[in-house]
Amino acid sequence: MKFIETAKIYGHLISFLATQNRFNLSYHPGGTDRNRFITAAEAAKQIPDGSTVISVGMAGHARCSILFRAIRNSYLKDKTPKDLTWMTVSAQGGRGKAPGTVEEVAVSGLIKEYISGHVETAHKQLEMGANKEIEIHILPQGEITRILHNQSEGNATCLSSIGIGTFLDPDLGGNTAATPHSTKSYVKKNGDLLEYSLPKINVALFNAPYADNEGNIYFKNASAITEIREAALAAKYNGGKVIATVSQIIEKDEASISLPSKHVSHIVVNPANEQTASIKQRKYWPMFTEGAKECMEKSIAKMNTINSITSYSPKRGPVDNILARMAASLFVKVAQKGNLVNLGIGLPEEVGRLVYEGGLFDDFTFSSETGVYGGLPASGLFFGGAINPQKMYSSAWIFNHYKTSLDITVLGTLQVDSKGNVNVSKRGEGVKNYVGPGGFMNIADSAKTIIFIGSWMAKAEFKLKDGKLTLIKKGIPKFVDEVLEVTFNAQAALEKGKTVYYVTTVGIFKLTEKGPELIQVMPGIDVQRDILEASTAKIQISENLELVSESIATGHGYKLAWD
């Protein structure tokens, strides 16, 4: 990237950091219907005590930042609203560091319960849960979106096979509670299925780009839509309130209305609203918008520069690069042209990068659980969006579409066990170590082929020399006899005819009836010493064990191509 472009990005980030904690809670645009267009401070007063509130968005996309701050300030000053049950579909926290996230409402007395699909980034809620100040409950993201849709039709439950044989299965002692002191669960057995439920939503909060003077909402130039429509319709059906925050008021365009005014109770105009993390909606980046045709190389460079400066994307070393090349080569080997693909966060993002750099990007349709469809999946700070997306659907739509149409996914792991079960939802003991499955369970259940990718050990040290990998210091095994929590049930996957691989630092495993079987090993790795004796899992070894190619190990001559 040219110096001047890099300098602009530094300027962009400096401006963002200087203003990210400034919220004008009293701003009103004037010249509008005063009953419909209100200030953020007034919006907070519209939320009754004891309400069930849902805030819409994922990660940095469409954050309701000004509403979070207004609600916090209202409670700290006037002790209202209080005793809220707060719900999100996906991650909306700032890891205890960033202002303007859902952690703003993590105040004792303000919320009494937190329900989400992913809680790892909501550090303050996790701390409250650990201190027994709130209950925390976890549901798969797909089931939350289904219930949102169902609530708009008068049904606060959904039946599903998702979660059977996992930590959510009541037959295995499972439930939705992430806090040991919880006295209830939002899942129960119903015949051969699981029945999930959620409290009826009284208040829906969302951030959309624009509104017109009549109160119609426009999604144009958004980076993701997520579950705005479903949440709004659910709250309205339940006789509740829908509060939107938008960046500005535009002229009415009947053909472009995304959510009619009849579904919106109040609108807060905030000129500082974000399109996505650090990017103001009024200065939106076209590369993240539906139907964009921006220069891919320049857009990628722009995204990568921000991720590098903020250190949001970890620096990848030689061993990580081997993992990515191994997974990308396997991906191209088992995928077919035209496949619909989902890539998880972290190392799976590197697979997308290599597929793009290898010239095969146009042979696939990539997608995200946010509902972003097509384009190149955005990484790091912008995960959940895409560069030049073709379409933007809701998260509820995409999860439903995945059930019949998702061909292949690449997902990260925390642990794998002797049966091939995977844990991604629990890092360790205690509430503060809880992660949640996010969209993982729905994605893995839908995909015909699953490639898991993760390091062989935590905190291990490897040395790469002359195309050979040597384990010089053992770490904490990630392949164990039993995972801390079953998020992915291997036997259920086999029964559904899925093909499952595990790509690790030491080689590639394939799921069999006996568990993970090593089918390819990295040059330099001693199977007995570095795999069988270094893991507590029972590992099968293929009779036709192959060596990982030297080009994957070194990167020299590495190329992705169709057979």
Per-residue pLDDT tens over the stretch 299-354: 999 999 999 999 877 888 899 999 999 999 999 999 999 999 999 999 999 999 99
Distance between first and last Cα of the chain? 34
Give catalytic status of residue 369 as yes or no. Answer: yes
* Mean pLDDT across the chain: 97
What are the boundaries of each domain within the chain?
33-130+201-273, 317-554
Residue-wise pLDDT for 236-252, tens only, equals: 999 999 999 999 999 99
Distances (CA, A) of 278 to 10, 18, 60, 247, 303: 12, 11, 8, 14, 12
Residue holding tokens 């912008």? 382
Of the candidates 136, 132, 94, the one whose C-alpha atom is nearest the C-alpha of residue 115 is: 136
Residue-wise pLDDT for 152-192, tens only, equals: 999 999 999 999 999 999 999 999 999 999 999 999 999 99
Residue 160: how many CA atoms within 13 Å on its side-chain side? Answer: 29
Q: How many degrees, rounded to 5, is the angle at CA 47 between CA 252 and CA 96? A: 95
- Give the β-pairing of 248-250 and 210-212: parallel
Q: Which two tokens stand for residue 122?
A: 């909501």
In 355-448, beta strands by DSSP E:
365-367, 372-373, 376-377, 386-387, 391-392, 408-412, 415-417, 422-423
pLDDT score for 356: 97
Q: Is 54 helix (H, G, I), strand (E, B) or coil?
A: strand
- Can you give the C-alpha Rg of the chain in angstroms? 23
Q: Do domains 33-130+201-273 and 317-554 have the same CATH topology?
A: yes
Across 199-203, average pLDDT: 98
| Catalytic residue chosen out of the listed positions 135, 143, 274, 369 | 369
pLDDT score for 329: 98
- Give the β-pairing of 340-343 and 408-412: parallel
Q: Which two tokens stand for residue 222?
A: 């958004």
Output the pTM of the full model: 0.96
The DSSP call for residue 530 is I
Evaluate if residue 477 carries a pLDDT over 80: yes
Across 526-554, average pLDDT: 96
CATH 3.40.1080.10 fits 317-554, yes or no: yes
Residue-wise pLDDT for 260-290, tens only, equals: 999 999 999 999 999 999 999 999 999 999 9
pLDDT score for 1: 67
Percent of the chain at pLDDT > 90 equals 96
361: left (phi over 0), alpha (psi -120 to 50) or beta: alpha
Summarize the chain as % helix, strand, coil (round to 5): 30, 25, 45
Distances (CA, A) of 167 to 163, 487, 488: 7, 6, 9
Q: Is 367 helix (H, G, I), strand (E, B) or coil?
A: strand
Of the candidates 404, 476, 497, the one whose C-alpha atom is nearest the C-alpha of residue 442 is: 404
In 164-260, beta strands by DSSP E:
187-190, 193-197, 203-207, 210-212, 217-218, 241-246, 248-250
Of the candidates 158, 143, 147, 227, the one whose C-alpha atom is nearest the C-alpha of residue 395 is: 227
pLDDT score for 315: 82
Q: Which two tokens stand for residue 411?
A: 């997902």
Evaluate if residue 529 carries a pLDDT over 80: yes
Of the candidates 74, 136, 84, 137, the one whose C-alpha atom is nearest the C-alpha of residue 110 is: 84
Provide the residue count of the chain.
563
CB atoms under 10 Å from CB of 197, counted, come to 18
Burial label for 558, CB within 10 Å (0-12, 13-18, 19+), is: middle
Residue 368, Cα to own-chain centre: how many angstroms? 8
> CA quadruple 267, 270, 276, 280: dihedral positive or negative?
positive
Q: How far apart are CA 65 and CA 229, in angstroms?
A: 19
Across 13-39, average pLDDT: 94
pLDDT score for 68: 99
| β-sheet bridge partners, residue 86 | 53, 114
Q: How far apart are CA 180 and CA 303, in angstroms?
A: 40
According to CATH, the topology of domain 33-130+201-273 is Glutaconate Coenzyme A-transferase (3.40.1080)
Evaluate if residue 106 carries a pLDDT over 80: yes
Residue-wise pLDDT for 464-474, tens only, equals: 998 999 999 99
Of the candidates 287, 158, 276, the one whose C-alpha atom is nearest the C-alpha of residue 225 is: 276
Residue-wise pLDDT for 40-77, tens only, equals: 999 999 999 999 999 999 999 999 999 999 999 999 99
pLDDT score for 5: 87
